[in-house]
Structure 1
Amino acid sequence: MEDWSCYPPIEPSNFDLIIVGTGLPESILAAAASAAGKTVLHLDSSHSYGCHFASLSLQDFTDFLQTHSKTQSPLPEIEPSSGECNVLPLVTRPVYSSLEVNVYSPEIIEKSSKFSLDLAGPRLMFCADSMVDLILQTDINQYMDFKSVESSFICEGDDCNLWSVPDSRSAIFKDKVLSFTEKNQLMRFFKLVQKHYEDKSDEANAKISDEDLESPFAEFMSKKIGMSSKLKSVILYAISMADYEQDSVEQCKNVLKTKEGLDRLILYHASIGRFPNAPGAMIYPMYGQGELPQAFCRRAAVKGCLHVLRMPVVALLVDKDVGSYKGVRLATGQELFSQRLILSPSYVVPSGLVRPPNPLQEGINDMGTADAKQKVIRAICITKASLKSDVANCLVFLPPQSLCPEQQTSIRAFQLSSNVAACPPDLFVVYLSSVCEDVVQGKKLMNLAIDALFTVPVSKDPDENCTEHDSEFTTTKVKPTLLWSILYVQDQTAVEIDTVSSTFMPDGTLLYNNLLEATTKLFQTMYPGEVFLPKATSSDTVVEDVESDL
């Protein structure tokens, strides 16, 4: 058991805001509150930053999932009272389940420390999206480097061929799958969308009517544009990135409206070539997504935020008479006080905490976060071969019904290589994810996706599982062979806003837009009238010899 007596006390003992957990929402809030002049204490029981948004070594990754797959109380014994406050023990809820690990090559375990695996993968950024704008606005790009995602593919057909996504004029011109008619149709559609947004201020001559903008996007492309099923699938699932099958509006859990679909298409096209060293639409941070929380924490520190790692919060302090929040008790026994508290999503707010009627909670479902009943099924696969020869980092989309008729959700795979420090040289890491409500069905579909993209070894001996078959007449390449894989289910959690607020787990999307929107609204409800992360000035930066790729 840890000897907490050797830890020095934290000073001061009173803050405007205490934040427990260093996940991305918590780290952004720490930076925003500090920039607004609030005194902020940022705590985490872990030895590293990131929490559920961390990038970890292979062994730390599995340990983290196992730890957060069960209810935990950081300290077994809590003294019942403290001065004028009652003490409510703080426990964590299990947010991961159905953990399955397969080790086909023991040498992978030996290289554990050379991996940087994202807990919230797959995830990336469009070059023109709101997260990249915030990174540039706050100057935290000085702490990070980025790599361009080389290509995007759609996996289709019984043999799961990878077909390049025709996402630009040049890509359409080079495409060898589309017919001449389909190429013309797609080119005309892209021009229509571009013209519509260029003339957006002239509502009288709008190229797309308000009625069409409010219609289902799939229906608009079919009935108004006359688009083929193949092209419609490209735009819906590989560019607009819809989660659910869109052709059946009555059964679809989240119908993508035309306006939202076109907005996503414009964002995609605006991202292509935004940065000279990132010719594609998407980028990924070197060393993993866990670099983002760290960068925002460094921004918070510049503004005076105090960060303390390896420091569990074991209890909340509440007023004896009213039952309202007053402060926290640490594992060291020290008691700290604040006006507000933010907890990472794995913590359970004690039932003994009295919460008066709070108008801030109204409209909470409009904060851009996913349905708390929804789950995300995630998997990571490690191989020696790329999904596509000569491609290091790429996206692969498996649209609804591409694996089986029961598949109602899109599955996304994101391959990374050693050039982003995700793994040792000559290896590849592939993240897969999909949203689901039924865990059994979700796992079934994820295993179908793994079988479609990889060869699952029949033997634990890697020498008996070859990736190429040679004969006198032909060489037939087969799918990459798995060396290691993990599959797990991640819960969603609801946002709570009060003097004690809860943040949220990573959602099932590839991008950070929903997360950033929800985090911004949470900050604005906590501190109305305050500016959310204003543009950095020269006094906000720490002088370091760090070069950014943005």
Structure 2
Amino acid sequence: MSDDDELPTNYDVIVYGTGMTESIVAAACSRIGKKVLHFDSDDFYGGIWASFNLEALLKIAEDDQEDENYNDIGLYNITSQWYIKKAVPKPPVIETPDEEKTDTNPSVTKTESDSPKNILPEDDIRDEIHYDHVKHRTLWTQDSVRKEYRRFNLDLVPKLLFARGELVDLLITSNIARYAEFRCVNRVLTWLNGMLEPVPCSRADVFATKHVSVVEKRMLMKLLTSLMEYGEKESLEIPDIENKTFLEYLKSKKLTSNLIHYVLYAIAGGTESMSCSAGIKKCKMFLTSLGKYGNTPFLWSMYGCGELPQCFCRLCAVYGGVYCLKRELQGIEMMEDCPKSCRGIRLKSEGKYLKCEYLVMSINKIPVTFYTGEVSEVGISRAIFITNKSILESEKEPLTLLQFPPLEGKKYPVTIIELGPSTFSCPKGLYVLHMTCKETENAKADLIEYAEKLLNLEEIDSVFSEQPKNSSHKKPQVIWSMFFNMKDTSKQEVKMPSPNVFVCTGPDTELDFDNAVQQAKKIFSNISNGVFLPRAPDPDEIVFDGEDAAVGPIFEKDYKKSSESDSHSNLDGEESAVTDLDSSGEKEPLIKSSSSNVSEDSIKNNINENDSKSSKEEDASLKEVGNDVDNMEGVENDMNKMSVQDESSSLEKVVDDITKNDIEHVDKDISETRSNDNIVEK
């Protein structure tokens, strides 16, 4: 029996493709109780949104060179190159006469370091002699890099998350953030006057930078403040904003060319043709995201962006979604009585028929005949570089965003993201550099000039992970590179044969994931009127409280707080100040950065402002109860010191009676609490 025979045949929603948008839709449908089948023709999750190890990318490049018309994930114009040799060349062995082979000085012993296996090329020997104190350097060759192939997580579509962007909000409100880890981008750079310059992102950075004069600092702060308040005050409305470019608006503010460069290219990430409304929107997103998790507005997904589609797939599976890989779609079945409505699909392997009410497909999985109008010719140029050091060295390992303005003769700017080993994108001692821009010719022609500005592209024998300070190569040495193009299908118009079939477009050149989230919300609204990805409880928040309890799980935090409330009321005769959660039992987790990391533990350990306020009130109440207990102990001590024997004996009797009753009452409460704990454990 094949695996297809074991699949159920009836579903509410079938999703074909495991890209970002498709995975969000599948998770949202499964979360509200719909029966979902999520399958893909690939043997991995994510499609073109996935992260690959080094060997996988090398195989993609090799397959493309063998057959230019064959590519599973839609890449073309692929060129990959090694800039170091496969192995360290061995020094030549020079034969010596027999008389010279005899050791004339028996007092000199041959050490292990003199053996041929430890001899390096002449340049490397010189480096080892003068920089022997650098013990952690690694000599990289093709063989040594390929041995570490599993430590690479290389993205075909590298993107950042705005701290207040739509994807971060969705990860928090749905509690899917617990499946992922993030790291803050700790610096933003720009290319100005032929060199790399840091971009002042916050008020402190603006006043600390030496690249902006005092007058420019005041002008910049005034501009940023007005951009933040745009749309909130009528006095800040810009006349004829739709017909004006953002560059014209900046010039009308009488900014210097230095400040215009920072705002237009580094903060807005735009071009001279960017519209004024788009530039203001980008600046507001940049400024509102500042300071939420770090000194920049951006987050990076640890282990690569390919982790994010898998996070939504996990939630879909938790709520009953069925997953199948390596399954291709043979055709779409239409209803006989209603030819324009889809009733199911047929798999290619066994021709099995599966019924569904709705079908969601990736644009890479549909026939080209479904496209309306002309096929989009807009493409994306990409490049991946593996280097031996950062483009701009710093004391701490950098995670860098560089918005490179267009060079002379170029039309579009280039977005550059540099990742170090702490992001688990590469082994220790190496860096990964991603370049992205809109396609004009091909990837290599579009990006090679930018690479030459930042990197050394010469072919050498081998390279250390850390070059000597007096090395002639000041730029990072490229170890391996890959140039490729992909289609930008984000604006492609598609006409499907049925109103209950929806198409998810591919990635665009934008820096964030907002387009994918917006598209997923739109598709979900056509499928259901339910809540889009409501918060999923953590496993430790769900407690089933016996057969006689109310139907449905309760939150453990509610249970604990109610137990504490009963305990305080019984012991002290006062109502506890501990407040329960709201009726829905849902709390908004906060992602908070610690040492530039945003992890699952930090989400769980942070609570919202209401819980913080409630905790403070609880502490104050418990403190008052403690003071009352101390006062009672003082009164009891005073009574024990009374000199009248009769009064003393009567008081002792009263105290004994009260103590005895309290002990019985407490024992009863303890036994009830233990029985409740046993129920919880069961």
Q: TM-score, normalization: structure 2? A: 0.65
Query: Quick check: 2:414–2:435 contact (8 Å CA) kept in 1?
Result: yes
Shift of 1:195: 4.0
What amino acid is the match of 1:112? Y
Kindly provide the CA deviation profile for residues 267-290 of structure 1, in whole angstroms up to 9, marking residues without a partner as x.
Answer: 212212213xx3431111111101
Q: Distance in 1 between matches of 2:76 and 2:6?
A: 35
Aligned to 2:482, the other structure's residue is in SS state: strand
Confirm whether residue 408 of structure 1 aligns to residue 389 of structure 2. Answer: no
- Please name the residue that 2:401 is paired with: 395
Kindly provide the CA deviation profile for residues 168-190 of structure 1, in whole angstroms up to 9, marking residues without a partner as x.
Answer: 21111121212222222111111
Aligned to 1:22, the other structure's residue is in SS state: coil
Shift of 1:144: 0.8
Shift of 1:151: 0.2
- Please name the residue that 1:182 is paired with: 216
- Please name the residue that 1:28 is paired with: 24
Aligned to 2:376, the other structure's residue is in SS state: coil
- Please name the residue that 2:317 is paired with: 301
Q: Distance in 1 between matches of 2:349 and 2:541?
A: 33
Q: Distance in 2 between matches of 1:127 and 1:407?
A: 31
Q: Distance in 2 between matches of 1:540 and 1:534?
A: 18
What amino acid is the match of 1:433? T
- Please name the residue that 1:233 is paired with: 261
| Aligned counterpart in structure 2 of residue 54 of structure 1, from 43, 46, 50 | 50
Confirm whether residue 486 of structure 1 aligns to residue 482 of structure 2. Answer: yes
Query: Quick check: 1:118–1:288 contact (8 Å CA) kept in 2?
Result: yes
What amino acid is the match of 1:119? L
Shift of 1:337: 2.1
The worse-fitting range, judged by mean Cα deviation, of 232-241 and 417-426 is 232-241
- Please name the residue that 2:183 is paired with: 147
Confirm whether residue 222 of structure 1 aligns to residue 272 of structure 2. Answer: no
Aligned to 2:282, the other structure's residue is in SS state: helix
Distance 1:94 1:111, change over 3 A: closer
Q: Distance in 2 between matches of 1:541 and 1:310?
A: 36
- Please name the residue that 1:339 is paired with: 357
Aligned to 1:373, the other structure's residue is in SS state: coil
Correspondence list, 1:138-537, <5 A: 138-158=174-194, 161-196=195-230, 200=232, 202-203=233-234, 206-212=235-241, 215-223=244-252, 225-242=253-270, 245-246=271-272, 252=273, 255-257=274-276, 259-275=277-293, 278-318=294-334, 322=339, 325=342, 326-349=344-367, 351=369, 372-390=376-394, 391-400=397-406, 403-404=407-408, 406-436=409-439, 438-440=440-442, 443-459=444-460, 461-463=461-463, 470=470, 478-493=474-489, 494=492, 496=494, 498-524=499-525, 526-527=526-527, 529-537=529-537
Shift of 1:7: 2.5
Q: Distance in 1 between matches of 2:320 and 2:73?
A: 33
Q: Distance in 2 between matches of 1:32 and 1:66?
A: 38
Confirm whether residue 100 of structure 1 aligns to residue 71 of structure 2. Answer: no
- Where does structure 2 lack aligned partners over 5 or more consecutive residues? 85-141, 544-598, 604-682
Q: Distance in 2 between matches of 1:381 and 1:463?
A: 15
Confirm whether residue 7 of structure 1 aligns to residue 3 of structure 2. Answer: yes
Query: Quick check: 1:71–1:94 contact (8 Å CA) kept in 2?
Result: no
- Please name the residue that 1:77 is paired with: none
| Higher-helix-fraction structure | 2
Confirm whether residue 128 of structure 1 aligns to residue 164 of structure 2. Answer: yes
- Percent identity, aligned pairs only? 26
Q: Distance in 2 between matches of 1:192 and 1:292?
A: 35
Query: Computing the radius of gyration over CA atoms, which structure comes out larger, 1 or 2?
Result: 2
Kindly provide the CA deviation profile for residues 72-94 of structure 1, in whole angstroms up to 9, marking residues without a partner as x.
Answer: 6xxxxxxxxxxxxxxxxxxx887
What amino acid is the match of 1:547? E
Shift of 1:219: 0.8
Kindly provide the CA deviation profile for residues 304-361 of structure 1, in whole angstroms up to 9, marking residues without a partner as x.
Answer: 211122333344444579486431214244222222222222223375x8x9xxxxx9
Q: Distance in 2 between matches of 1:35 and 1:495?
A: 29
Shift of 1:124: 0.7
Distance 1:67 1:342, change over 3 A: farther
Aligned to 1:186, the other structure's residue is in SS state: helix
Distance 1:541 1:29, change over 3 A: farther
Equivalent pairs, count: 479
Q: Distance in 2 between matches of 1:234 and 1:11?
A: 56
- Where does structure 1 lack aligned partners over 5 or more consecutive residues? 73-91, 247-251, 356-360, 366-370
The worse-fitting range, judged by mean Cα deviation, of 230-239 and 308-317 is 308-317
Q: Distance in 2 between matches of 1:215 and 1:349?
A: 40
Distance 1:196 1:19, change over 3 A: closer
What amino acid is the match of 1:311? R
Aligned to 1:511, the other structure's residue is in SS state: coil
- Please name the residue that 2:116 is paired with: none
Higher relative contact order (CA 8 A, sep 6+): 1
Shift of 1:226: 0.9
Aligned to 2:236, the other structure's residue is in SS state: coil
Shift of 1:12: 1.9
Distance 1:528 1:310, change over 3 A: closer
Shift of 1:467: 5.0
- Please name the residue that 2:643 is paired with: none
Q: Distance in 2 between matches of 1:63 and 1:51?
A: 16
Q: Distance in 1 between matches of 2:15 and 2:541?
A: 23
Q: Distance in 2 between matches of 1:457 and 1:217?
A: 40
